[in-house]
Structures are given as structure tokens and as C-alpha cells.
């Protein structure tokens, strides 16, 4: 099995003014494509060629740093693209998802505030996650291309939403203004897809 760069169901310019066309193009075609190709090279002619990406992630901590970084980079970006939606097609939370945020964080606004604070204070490159753990929602962060499916990183769970805070995700447009990037992110989240991810996660 070789992993493939996923097809995007939107254009690079569809997220403007929140994410510019050039950032989307470089992020997808350069960064994500490199993780995909490097992962395939790293597992070539090994027993991991027949593993799913989830199986690779679960043992990434005992593999080489090349496999760890690139399997994470491949998976993380797949999830990231999947939970974005052009702002012209943005829809509000369903009643059931809104109730879920109320049960776990007191309100949706409280969730956004907590998530944004963790994203703003995260040092260096990494990801911020909304996860399902023991059927409850939790927020955590990981460094580099680690993610909650990896073992022993202190951020365990099934990720249903992720925010890329590597500088390549925002620097062309926002430079050092990570707070502005985080604020813009909320305008392009596909909450229907996040809810779908949640329903799948609680069945596992």
C-alpha cells in the first residue's frame, strides 16, 4: 500500500480572506505532499507497507523519527483539510453538537476560548486538538507532527478537529500574528464534519 495525497473538495482561494490562496497551495502541494512521499519511502519494503495509517501511528513511538514525523504529518493534514469549509458555505452548529459542547465545556464559546488559549500559548510548531476520550470531549496539544493516536504523548484520544499551528500554515499571511490566524480559523470550520467525526469516534 502506498499513501496518496487526498483530493481537496474546494479551491485554494475558497478560504480567502481567512487563509490566502498561496498559503493553501504551498501547504497542500509542498508540505503535505512531502510528508506523503517521505512516509511512503520510509515504509517501503517493510511490513508496514500493509498497515493502515492508524496502525502506523500507534507504533510510531518505537519506529524511526522519519516514520513518526511523516506518518503524523500525513494523517494530521488529512484531518485538517477534512474539517475546513469555505466561509460562504459555513453552517452553524447543530443543536445536538451545541448541547455536546455545553455538557463538556459549559458552552460553545467557552470551548472556543479554551481551545484558542491553548493554541495561542503553544510554544513552537505543533497541533491543537479536540478529541474524544472515554466518550467525552477534551482539548490538548502536541508538538511537531505528533497526534493523539500516538502512544505516550500525554494527549491521548481520537481527534475530531485539529488546528495546525506550524508557521507554514499561516506565516505568509499573518506573519507573527498567530492570534489573528486562530481567530480566522473559526470562520471556516465544517461543524457538520466535526460532528460526523464525533459519531464515528464514540463507536470505537
The residue ranges of every structural domain in the chain are 20-204
pLDDT digit string (tens) for 128-145? 999 999 999 999 999 999
Q: Is the pLDDT of residue 63 over 90?
A: no
Classify domain 20-204 at the CATH topology level. minor pseudopilin epsh fold (3.55.40)
The answer, as to whether pTM is greater than 0.85, is yes
pLDDT digit string (tens) for 89-101? 988 899 999 999 9
Burial category of 20 from C-beta neighbours within 10 Å (exposed 0-12, middle 13-18, buried 19 and up): middle
User: What's the CA dihedral at 131, 160, 190, 87 to 10 degrees?
Assistant: 70
Amino acid at each position: 500500500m502506498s499513501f496518496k495525497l487526498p483530493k481537496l473538495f474546494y479551491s485554494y482561494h475558497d478560504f480567502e480572506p481567512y487563509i490566502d490562496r498561496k498559503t493553501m497551495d504551498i501547504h497542500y502541494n509542498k508540505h503535505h505532499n512531502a510528508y506523503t512521499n517521505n512516509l511512503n519511502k520510509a515504509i517501503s519494503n517493510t511490513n508496514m507497507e500493509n498497515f493502515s495509517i492508524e496502525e502506523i501511528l500507534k507504533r510510531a513511538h518505537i519506529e524511526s523519527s522519519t516514520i513518526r514525523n511523516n506518518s503524523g504529518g500525513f494523517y494530521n493534514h488529512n484531518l485538517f483539510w477534512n474539517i475546513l469549509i469555505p466561509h460562504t458555505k459555513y453552517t452553524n452548529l447543530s443543536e445536538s453538537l451545541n448541547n455536546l459542547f455545553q455538557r463538556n465545556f459549559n458552552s460553545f464559546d467557552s470551548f472556543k476560548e479554551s481551545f484558542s488559549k491553548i493554541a495561542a500559548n503553544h510554544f513552537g510548531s505543533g497541533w491543537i486538538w479536540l478529541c474524544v476520550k472515554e466518550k467525552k470531549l477534551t482539548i490538548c496539544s502536541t508538538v511537531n507532527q505528533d497526534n493523539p493516536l500516538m502512544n505516550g504523548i500525554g494527549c491521548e484520544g481520537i481527534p475530531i478537529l485539529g488546528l495546525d499551528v506550524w508557521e507554514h500554515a499561516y506565516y505568509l499571511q499573518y506573519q507573527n500574528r498567530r492570534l489573528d490566524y486562530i481567530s480566522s480559523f473559526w470562520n471556516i470550520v465544517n461543524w457538520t464534519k466535526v460532528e460526523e467525526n464525533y459519531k464515528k469516534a464514540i463507536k470505537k
